[in-house]
Structure formats: C-alpha cells, structure tokens
Amino acid sequence: MFRESDNTTSYSLFDNPWDLVNARTAKKYEDPKAWCNVFFDQVTSKINERIFAPLFSDNGMGAPNASIRILVAMSIIKEGFQMSDEVLIDRCDADIVIRRALGLMNLSDSCPSIDTYYLFRRRICDYADETGENLMERCFKRLTAFQASKFKIQGKAVRMDSKLI
C-alpha cells in the first residue's frame, strides 16, 4: 500500500554535517541561494508523491521502501549532472551538497540503494508500457507549473535577443 514520505526535515543534535565543518564552509552551504538549497526548496520538496501511487497500490507490490520524493530528485540530479547510476549513488552517499539537495540533512539519513533506484525506474517504465501514461512527465509538468507560477513566467512571447538563430 502506498504511503507518502514525511516532507519535513529535522536536524539531529549529533550528526548534522554543518556542525562538523568550519564556519565559512557551513555559511556557504547554508546560504539560501546555494544550488543545493534552491534545488531542495524548488524541486525536491515540491515533488508530489501521490502521482506515483499507482506503482504501489494496484499491483500488490506493497509500499515503497524509500522516499519517492528522493528517488525522483535523484533522477533529476543524475540527468542534470550527466552521471552514471553508480556515480549518482556514490555521490548521494558521500557528497553533503547532493545529500542536502535531496533532503538528507543528517549523516545518519540513508540514501536509497541502487537496487531500490532501479526497481523504481523499472516500475515507472512498466507502468508506462501498460497504461501509456508517463508518471515522470506528469510530475515534471506539475513542478514546471509550480515554478512558472512562483517566478511569474508566462512564456507568451519569445524575445529575439534570447533566441539562437
């Protein structure tokens, strides 16, 4: 049965990575304009997990064993940075900036395994083959609509100075 993951982040007293680095580095990564914080705020935290509920509720496969929000954000980061799956998993385990972008705020927070990541992607593909509906596309359309609204992007006119001819 599908269940949404908790969208709140809480810091642990003992395993907050920002307490373990020097003040300059901590200030840099706590900057609200740092890409990891913008990504978490504008993408990871806005992913609607309910879109992916059919992958888990109708086929008797049970609940997801990792946050769908994190799995989708991992896919976006993978494509955005042009990483292989193995590099993505390594970076999610060890890179505190990538972890922050995913919402893994504490050192004790675990990143989904590569098997969980593969299973999620396979379920999305199988669902698309069976129904013709691309759940990732629905998710991206919702994210794009949210961002267009937030940043007041209309897209009704194309400026010639921003067009490559």
Q: Are 15 and 108 in contact (CB under 8 A)?
A: yes
pLDDT of residue 77: 97
Least confidently predicted of 9-23, 56-70, 107-121? 9-23
Q: Which residues contact 42 (CB under 8 A, 6 or more apart)?
A: 147, 150
pTM exceeds 0.75? yes
Half-sphere exposure of 19 (CA within 13 A, CB side): 9
Retrieve residue 160's tokens.
């010639």
Q: Is the pLDDT of residue 4 over 70?
A: no
Specify the DSSP class assigned to residue 10. -
- The arithmetic mean of pLDDT across residues 156-165, rounded, is 65
